[in-house]
Amino acid sequence: MARVLTPRAEDFPRWYQDLIAKAQLADNGPVRGTMVIRPAGYAIWERMQAEMDARIKVAGAENAYFPLFIPESYLRREAQHVEGFSPELAVVTHGGGKQLAEPVVVRPTSETVIGEFMAKWVDSYRDLPLLLNQWANVVRWELRPRIFLRTSEFLWQEGHTAHADEADARAYARKILHEVYEDFMVGVLGIPVLTGLKTARERFAGATRTYTLEGMMGDGKALQMGTSHELGQNFAKAFDITYTSAERTVEHAWTTSWGSSTRMLGGLIMCHGDDNGLRVPPRLAPVQAYVMVVKSGDGVTEAAVKLRDALRDAGVRVALDDRVDTPFGRRAVDAELKGYPVRVEVGPRDLAAGNAVLVRRTDGSKTPLPVADVVSAVLAALDADQQALYDGALAMRESRTVDVTTLDEAIEAAADGWARVPWSVVGVEGEAKANARGVTVRCLRRADGSVPDSEDEPELVAIVARSY
Amino acid sequence: MARVLTPRAEDFPRWYQDLIAKAQLADNGPVRGTMVIRPAGYAIWERMQAEMDARIKVAGAENAYFPLFIPESYLRREAQHVEGFSPELAVVTHGGGKQLAEPVVVRPTSETVIGEFMAKWVDSYRDLPLLLNQWANVVRWELRPRIFLRTSEFLWQEGHTAHADEADARAYARKILHEVYEDFMVGVLGIPVLTGLKTARERFAGATRTYTLEGMMGDGKALQMGTSHELGQNFAKAFDITYTSAERTVEHAWTTSWGSSTRMLGGLIMCHGDDNGLRVPPRLAPVQAYVMVVKSGDGVTEAAVKLRDALRDAGVRVALDDRVDTPFGRRAVDAELKGYPVRVEVGPRDLAAGNAVLVRRTDGSKTPLPVADVVSAVLAALDADQQALYDGALAMRESRTVDVTTLDEAIEAAADGWARVPWSVVGVEGEAKANARGVTVRCLRRADGSVPDSEDEPELVAIVARSY
């Protein structure tokens, strides 16, 4: 097969761009840093949304929608928040043909405007917890954009909740971390994310604690795949979110926020993609089985249609490619690029022997098998390959993660992967030193892998890496 | 029951606002003309999206996502389009802390930016038709905002397609009109919309033909519920969307666009709402059956939980209200306001006799019936009430629509409903005269109710009304 993409080993960033272009996942938009998500990419995002949304609802949050435009003054109410986001804001100064009395910003995130409404809606302790989520676009002006990873506009979900006390807020921020994000990323995306606590330096602007999920990409770098924040009473005080307790005292609420975005598409590509294109884990894939008519022939299309229908009846997300006017090789390359988990190739020669060919994207295997066995073979392959992709990603992460005991060793190890190093030997000063060399503390974890409550806990492990 | 809303007959606009506030559907946003869609309102929008999206996919269109920000210069390329939208634009002049070299507009609709990409993606006749749709927010600065009906930001789907010739474009614009919009509005929303052709005066800015669906609201006014446009070659020429034909000639494509928005929520309220609140048609309702524990008692909650589970198992979208700490009357009023199609009330007294009470929102009937019969009774009620709401809306429209033969009679009839009047007695001059009196031609139809291709066809009927 001719070389379609720049090989990863040759130039990983170039491979990434090639893949996005050739698999027709996305394009650069006309305004710098914006992107067009093409149908092949958007279908994957829709599957991400469906899986995440179901988990968010099980966690008890309800979807709502808050305005795109936020008065500039709202952002200024929380000091760290405005400091963090000011450099990235897009500002609308004119509307309806006139200059606006007060400029409005295009939301970079919605803590402020949602805080304003939480204050209106929350009255008594009976109104808590208030659990909201929205699916929306947000804008953060990007000077060094890269499709899916850093774009001036991106799509995401942002959850915002208010609680009666810190313990409840913390439990919920962690519930989202594990039961929504980790469960989805491990179980559907097939990415063995590490969960942990961000250091103060890496915390969200306005948060008291930021929990994160970090995935290793094919070049050994880390990608922050999602974050869940405890906001303490910072926004509750800035927006006056108070409630009357059962004891009739007036208290400030405790809030959280948590988000995951189209950045996950970048993570999917860089974790599972190979030199032939994307590999989409079966549970995520919008098209799990791609039935291809190799070329015209007696009863070939009919057999393919029957297989398509049988697979659909078995609950498989399936598409039929009967474009026999387009060369088969070109269609096969495209199917590889798009990463459909399995292909079922139906051609005159094999069919004459009662066979079709099962091609698995994960390992590239091609197996002729009786037409009657296709459905069960596809189902088995989808299960096995979901696991195989996860196992492969885990093996990669483990092979590229080293335990070290000094900061210098950690920085060195980060050239090619991740380092686990005692947080006590890094500390705030070491972190600044690492940052100056392009290396960051991705998260802090306890020795047993659980997520700490504070960076001051003893014997924490820092995960140190280069990152996107 | 105490009066909760301003009665419709007393003050229809006030009733509308009251209902939205008290049923907690939405709030005004902080920036003028924007809105917050609260969970009770957003859940209905999600159901609209799910039903529409399924129909859009059956019609062959694929979802994608295009940027929020559009270079100002794009809009200027199509003369009528820029003229139509300029007064409503929101303009971003600053991004990332700097003044932008070229201001960008926040999309009021996406024909221009999508046209730019269609030009990149379409090469040969084999690439056509290109059928795209996106779910997005758009901004049109509103001087007289009204929640759901006219807001500066709203949510919608916008479809954009490119075709090889005019006949194919027209067939597709009409397919969307009937198979997506009309099918959804009649079959799910339960609103007997009239389909027709807009006059040149009412056409979308840049279209050659605009098809519309008009619903009658509870005050006799018309609401444009959705539109589907043929754009001729206007955008194809402005953005150079060309293709090589089978005969190797280079041709401009023919494009369409079509949209429906959160405005449908306003239509739902104003068509089906009554003086006690919203009435949501069962096929649309996020909660079809609302099981209420009237008050605590021996086995009451257990019986309610069992009914909830049995209804869920029967495929009913069901919610349980066991908040016995909140007075039952308040919860019942809230259930009326939110318009759940059926309530199942489970209380100690009825339960002692083996009964629960079925309350139907559509006609207000309350029927005690054996617990064992609840599921079948709910299923029957949901079917019957879907039909009853449609029948009621149709009866209202028919009773408030009159056939007249002169423009003056039509304008007079529009004070209270709709008029059907020969288009030949209205014409462009009559239309301007009606407009000056706050009355518009909603659409043109053939005598048999079908949708004309041109306003020059003989014997067309004009539907004349006041409108939102």
Distance CA A352, CA B297 (A): 71
Confidence class for position B299, pLDDT limits 50, 70, 90: very high
Mean pLDDT, residues A110-138: 98
Please list every residue in chain B whose beta carbon sits closer than 8 Å to the beta carbon of residue A106: 68, 92, 106
* DSSP code per residue over B102-113: EEEEEPS--HHH
Mean pLDDT, residues B27-52: 97
| CB neighbour list of residue B246: distance below 8 Å, 6 or more residues apart | B125
Q: How many helices (H) and strands (E) does chain A have?
A: 15, 23
- The half-sphere exposure of A34 on its side-chain side, counting CA atoms within 13 A, is 20
Mean pLDDT (chain A, rounded): 97
Confidence class for position A79, pLDDT limits 50, 70, 90: confident
Strands B289-293 and B318-321: parallel
Mean pLDDT (chain B, rounded): 97
pLDDT at residue B2, rounded to an integer: 62
Please list every residue in chain A whose beta carbon sits closer than 8 Å to the beta carbon of residue B71: 30-31
* 3-state percent helix, strand, coil for chain B, nearest multiple of 5: 40, 30, 35
Of B36, B95, B141, which has the smallest distance from its Cβ to A141's Cβ?
A: B95
CB contact under 8 A, A30 and B116: yes
Q: What angle do CA B260, B265, B268 make, to 5 degrees?
A: 110
User: For residue B250, what is the enclosing H or E element?
Assistant: strand B250-252
Mutate to test the interface with B, among A22, A25, A92 (most CBs of B within 10 A): A92
User: How far is the alpha carbon of B122 from chain A, nearest alpha carbon, in Å?
Assistant: 13
CA of A72: which chain B residue's CA is closest?
B31
Confidence class for position A2, pLDDT limits 50, 70, 90: low
Mean pLDDT, residues A114-123: 98
List, for residues B316-336, the tens digit of each pLDDT value: 999 999 999 999 999 999 999
| CB neighbour list of residue A195: distance below 8 Å, 6 or more residues apart | A177, A178, A182, A211, A212, A213, A214, A443, A445, A451
Q: Does residue A1 register a pLDDT over 70?
A: no
Q: How many CB atoms lie within 10 A of CB B461?
A: 21
pLDDT at residue A201, rounded to an integer: 96
Judged by DSSP in three states, B150 sits in strand
Q: Does residue B164 register a pLDDT over 80?
A: yes
Judged by DSSP in three states, B452 sits in coil
Q: pTM score > 0.95 for this model? A: yes
* Residue in this structure with the two tokens 């199917």, named with its chain if needed: A335
* 3-state percent helix, strand, coil for chain A, nearest multiple of 5: 40, 30, 35
Q: Which domains does chain A have, with CATH numbers?
A: 12-272 (3.30.930.10), 289-396 (3.40.50.800), 401-465 (3.30.110)
CB contact under 8 A, B39 and A62: yes
Token pair for B319:
């919610």
pLDDT at residue A29, rounded to an integer: 97
Task: Order across the sheet with A90-95: list the strands.
Answer: A69-71, A98-106, A90-95, B90-95, B98-106, B69-71
User: At residue B155, what are phi and psi to the nearest 5 degrees?
Assistant: -100, 145
User: At residue B145, what are phi and psi to the nearest 5 degrees?
Assistant: -70, 150
Distance CA A386, CA A51 (A): 15
Tell me the Ramachandran region of residue B248: left when phi exceeds 0, alpha when psi lies from -120 to 50, beta otherwise.
left
pLDDT at residue B3, rounded to an integer: 79
Token pair for B164:
């090889």
pLDDT at residue A316, rounded to an integer: 98
CA of B25: which chain A residue's CA is closest?
A64
Distances in Å between the alpha carbon of A452 and those of A182, A403, A457, B65, B425? 16, 19, 7, 38, 78
Distance CA A398, CA A392 (A): 10
Mean pLDDT, residues A298-324: 97
Distance CA A418, CA A443 (A): 11
Mutate to test the interface with B, among A25, A31, A262 (most CBs of B within 10 A): A31
Listed residue (B276, B277, B275, B280) closest to B264, CA to CA: B280
Mean pLDDT, residues B110-114: 97
pLDDT at residue A261, rounded to an integer: 98
Sheet strands (E) in A53-152: 62-63, 69-71, 90-95, 98-106, 130-139
Listed residue (A191, A352, A169) closest to A284, CA to CA: A191
User: How far is the alpha carbon of B408 from chain A, nearest alpha carbon, in Å?
Assistant: 35
Question: Are residues B198 and B443 in contact, defined by beta-carbon separation less than 8 angstroms?
Answer: yes
User: How far is the alpha carbon of A447 from chain B, nearest alpha carbon, in Å?
Assistant: 41
Confidence class for position A132, pLDDT limits 50, 70, 90: very high
Question: Are residues B344 and B288 in contact, defined by beta-carbon separation less than 8 angstroms?
Answer: no
Question: Are residues A428 and A465 in contact, defined by beta-carbon separation less than 8 angstroms?
Answer: no
Q: Does residue A263 register a pLDDT over 70?
A: yes
Q: Does residue B301 register a pLDDT over 60?
A: yes
pLDDT at residue B160, rounded to an integer: 98
Distance CA A130, CA A118 (A): 8
Distance CA B259, CA B229 (A): 9
Mean pLDDT, residues A42-60: 98
Q: What is the ipTM of this complex?
A: 0.97
Distance CA B36, CA B15 (A): 19
Of A69, A87, A93, which has the smallest distance from its Cβ to B97's Cβ?
A: A87
pLDDT at residue A423, rounded to an integer: 98
List, for residues A268-281, the tens digit of each pLDDT value: 999 999 999 999 99
pLDDT at residue B400, rounded to an integer: 98
Judged by DSSP in three states, B251 sits in strand
Please list every residue in chain A whose beta carbon sits closer than 8 Å to the beta carbon of residue B37: 64-65
Beta bridge partners of B432: none
Mean pLDDT, residues B168-185: 98
Question: Are residues B196 and B420 in contact, defined by beta-carbon separation less than 8 angstroms?
Answer: no
User: How far is the alpha carbon of B424 from chain A, nearest alpha carbon, in Å?
Assistant: 37
User: How far is the alpha carbon of B101 from chain A, nearest alpha carbon, in Å?
Assistant: 11
pLDDT at residue A270, rounded to an integer: 98
Mean pLDDT, residues B197-216: 97
Q: Does residue B71 register a pLDDT over 70?
A: yes
List, for residues A191-217, the tens digit of each pLDDT value: 999 999 999 999 999 999 999 999 999
Question: Are residues A118 and A160 in contact, defined by beta-carbon separation less than 8 angstroms?
Answer: yes
Residues B63, A382, A12, A401, CA torsion sign: positive
pLDDT at residue B376, rounded to an integer: 98
Listed residue (B200, B255, B269, B241) closest to B48, CA to CA: B269
Distance CA B161, CA B29 (A): 33
Q: How many CB atoms lie within 10 A of CB B23?
A: 22
List, for residues A335-376, the tens digit of each pLDDT value: 999 999 999 999 999 999 999 999 999 999 999 999 999 999
Distance CA A277, CA A279 (A): 7
CB contact under 8 A, A27 and B74: no
Q: How far is CA B357 from the centre of its chain?
A: 33
CA of B34: which chain A residue's CA is closest?
A67
Confidence class for position B391, pLDDT limits 50, 70, 90: very high
| CB neighbour list of residue A396: distance below 8 Å, 6 or more residues apart | A216, A218
Strands B130-139 and B62-63: parallel
Alpha helices in B62-110 (DSSP H): 72-76, 79-85
Judged by DSSP in three states, A364 sits in coil
Please list every residue in chain B whose beta carbon sits closer than 8 Å to the beta carbon of residue A139: 68-69
Confidence class for position A81, pLDDT limits 50, 70, 90: confident
Q: Amino acid identity, residue A350? A: D
* Residue in this structure with the two tokens 């032939």, named with its chain if needed: A276
Beta bridge partners of A289: A318, A342
Beta bridge partners of A343: A290, A359
Cα torsion at A141, A147, A148, A149 (round to 10°)? -70
User: How far is the alpha carbon of A154 from chain B, nearest alpha carbon, in Å?
Assistant: 9
